[in-house]
Chains A and B, each alone.
Chain A
């Protein structure tokens, strides 16, 4: 809560207790602040209030005043009488006001909740055993809290379309739909393109796409997340895994420099889905569909697992000492990556310094969408700048490096997570140097590399990225890397040791941060462990005036950098 909110607090009486809540809050938000829950389906904090589910009904009352005189009406104890409304009110559309009395624990309110639950279940197919939402379904949760243990409904249920293919990534089950309209409001209000609507009336009301217009927007899967029941399901996740077996960890999307906060859900070393994690300063509760599919890459073929030297598999210790030998060459250069974490970039910078190698980088740009995909296709360009690994916005090619190779100024080249061929180096140039490649997948130029060594993907390691807002955000490890793959931090720490630069460099995050906070002014006072989940803004200083490519998107304005 910020200071300005505190200045405009109002006191309400919630179930007999006087509590102070920020003005402008509705009762669902106020309850949340008090650590209580007013059950709701259709209300979503990031969408407009619709008020159709009627689950959040509470009884409200206001202190009574005499109509004629305006004087407060007192009871026998000298307290102002409360005029309770006989009609329950929806909490989501009731804004707190001074002296407002709220009851959530009486028979009227219980009756409302029980009634809504019974009505919603009357026509519901009750197919939880095969429903992907089971385990995280509001209807299921509230049914156990507010439902009966038997049904009074003996009529035929309303039959509606099931498994309707409404778009490339979503299947709709209309019988499960409780018509809360969250998905419709998401389309109309967040992505501002209408795809969904209701047809028919009454109990026969049905969610549907507009005829001939598939729901193919790149943010369509957010509707699956906000669907309070299993009506909208992701084709990718459908029937793959029961959600209660999945373990979520906090992560950051690497799709662009927007730095979307995510949760990565895994079981037994396998990622099953990625969902957005709410961060009001970055991505609200949303993320792109394309960002959710990035985990597929870490499972795909072509992962670089066993280290290879000269085309032969070799143990990692031996591989590292071979690399160290190559690094002792005076004419070494490094191609660093904006896909590496702040910590990795920091160690790479030290390695570059130790072996007096020039550092090159490539920029990756893409078309932004004005929402959560920015024009910079890397997650951590600003990390590379802050750690001092680079000092300028990198070019989109490596021609300068190519010229150096041609001139014989570079004989050993270490490449981290980049495609050198795509970046413009020729086969002849690659053949001319001793090439060490560290990456997640076997590159197209593998036959030119002297040493190939695998590194973990973002899901297989922990670290931090600095997004386009100069917000440092940490990500946790969801699954272990493939057997035999060392973390980039470990590799760099061992190389630093082997080249004799700094023996005993820490290969784990917390000690690395002790040095980072000391050596990088922007990170002063920060530590990995104390970094909050929502990240922390750091001062980009003079770097802010560099010509970054990002234009405005959801919570980013270039002028404010």
Chain B
């Protein structure tokens, strides 16, 4: 059976004639959900999202409705909603499809969510490197404001909420929700310590704040359109809905593919939708959900339980594309930005590239990440420059272990996991490269390869 996309969020995107303006969006049924839902009590909308089982699409996969309910019912401070469009995880390019090609679906989702949590003001924090995306969103907000979907007295309901687009300054760490909040407050993008600064309690300007990925908020619009319980039927238990897989790297047809959660495998995605490996090549490894998720090596065997609860052994090709599926194989869904590497790739170079990224993006606030990131990157670079020592491979792992779980934010884990998984799964390849250097031999030349140009 061949695998099909199930486009919910990307419903009209790439259809001939579908444009980003409000008229086109409304012609396709846009803002009808908002007009209907804004007449309902806000708590109903929250219940719909809880029922839908929607999990955050930013990478951590936290249940969206649960997050919204963290706001205390006794709260008297203003509530803020922030749409996180700081899409900077290498390998991830799903949010920009929505922002560039269907901005009004995001705006409708944001206003619906803002109404559900009774936010006083909504923000879109968009990464600085998306100038076009910011322009498109600002234009779309103006269009929506002119039609009464944003701003004062939305759709005559009496509820008012404006959206402000804020452009980031080019820091990966500002995609972390508390780093984002600090940045939005005009400060250095230093993530906050939790406890006590949980955004739903002490967020933006010390007020309750919900930070959701922009894809998550866009999905809210479709959940409210079809009903939470209906949406929950899509996908698999513990992972409702669809994921937009952004596949990059060594496949015939890289791109974005919206697939129902758990209804396809890694192999089906890569071989059927993406057209398989490049001619004459074989798949070697994937990074499943953005650069900070753990590597999966082709040839590895994983033990997972099937739907009947029986344990079975599978390879990378058979891993179901769902949060629980990837979790069971020791990695995670992350932001569904899959990077594919084939047998032409030098894994030591890949690791060096990854490590250089995190050393560049570590904000420098807390000790382990500040020093660990650069130390690890320097070791990797040295190995690639032919100055490696055999003990460096274990040193890399040991340093990553000293960073993992000990930092203020998840960037520490994000930099540790690729190192740990690469050393665990490609230890022999790393050692062979160093040994060849020590022996004065050069290994078969590999294609120069770069994740970040």
Q: Which A residues are within 8 Å of any B CB, using their own CB?
A: 49-55, 57, 86-88, 90, 93-95, 111-112, 114-116, 118-120, 122-123, 152-153, 155-156, 158, 178-179, 197-198, 200-205
On whether A202 and B360 interact (CB within 8 A), knowing A49-B193, A123-B371, the answer reads: yes
- CB-CB < 8 A to A86: which residues of B? 405
- CB-CB < 8 A to B382: which residues of A? 155
- CB-CB < 8 A to A114: which residues of B? 402
With A and B bound together, what is the CA distance between A90 and B408 in angstroms?
9
- CB-CB < 8 A to B165: which residues of A? none
Within 8 A of A (CB), among B372-389: 372-375, 378-379, 382
- CB-CB < 8 A to B366: which residues of A? 51-54
With A and B bound together, what is the CA distance between A51 and B369 in angstroms?
13
- CB-CB < 8 A to B188: which residues of A? 197-198
In the complex, what's the smallest C-beta–C-beta distance from A291 to chain B, in angstroms?
Answer: 33
Say which size band chain B's interface belongs to: 20 to 34
With A and B bound together, what is the CA distance between A152 and B401 in angstroms?
15
On whether A88 and B406 interact (CB within 8 A), knowing A116-B367, A202-B374, the answer reads: yes
Which applies to chain B's interface (DSSP): helix, strand, loop or mixed?
Answer: helix
With A and B bound together, what is the CA distance between A147 and B405 in angstroms?
20
With A and B bound together, what is the CA distance between A561 and B139 in angstroms?
63
A179–B370 CB distance below 8 A: yes
- CB-CB < 8 A to B293: which residues of A? none
With A and B bound together, what is the CA distance between A156 and B407 in angstroms?
24
- Going nearest first, the 4 A-B pairs with the smallest beta carbon separation are A205-B364, A115-B402, A119-B371, A203-B374
Q: Could you say which of A112, A156, A158, A205 contacts B406, with CB atoms under 8 Å apart?
A: A112
Which applies to chain A's interface (DSSP): helix, strand, loop or mixed?
Answer: loop
In the complex, what's the smallest C-beta–C-beta distance from A365 to chain B, in angstroms?
Answer: 41
Q: Does B280 contact A (CB under 8 A)?
A: no
Most buried by A among B375, B378, B401: B375
In the complex, what's the smallest C-beta–C-beta distance from A178 to chain B, in angstroms?
Answer: 7
A119–B402 CB distance below 8 A: yes
With A and B bound together, what is the CA distance between A123 and B371 in angstroms?
8
On whether A54 and B368 interact (CB within 8 A), knowing A93-B195, A202-B359, the answer reads: yes
Q: Does B362 contact A (CB under 8 A)?
A: yes
Q: Does B177 contact A (CB under 8 A)?
A: no
A52–B359 CB distance below 8 A: no
- CB-CB < 8 A to B367: which residues of A? 52-55, 116, 119-120, 178
- CB-CB < 8 A to A155: which residues of B? 375, 378-379, 382
**Per-residue CB proximity of B150-191 to A under 8 Å, as 1/0?**
000000000000000000000100000000000000001000
- CB-CB < 8 A to A54: which residues of B? 366-368, 406-408
B370–A93 CB distance below 8 A: no
With A and B bound together, what is the CA distance between A200 and B360 in angstroms?
10
With A and B bound together, what is the CA distance between A94 and B196 in angstroms?
9
Q: Could you say which of B196, B364, B370, B405 contacts A119, with CB atoms under 8 Å apart?
A: B370
The residue in chain A whose Cβ has the minimal distance to the Cβ of B374 is: A203
Q: List 27 A-B contacts (CB under 8 A).
A: A52-B365, A52-B366, A52-B367, A54-B367, A54-B406, A87-B405, A90-B193, A93-B196, A95-B195, A111-B401, A115-B368, A116-B367, A118-B402, A122-B371, A122-B375, A179-B365, A198-B188, A198-B364, A201-B362, A202-B361, A202-B362, A202-B370, A203-B359, A203-B370, A203-B371, A203-B374, A205-B364
- CB-CB < 8 A to A90: which residues of B? 193
- CB-CB < 8 A to B365: which residues of A? 52, 179, 205
Q: Does B338 contact A (CB under 8 A)?
A: no
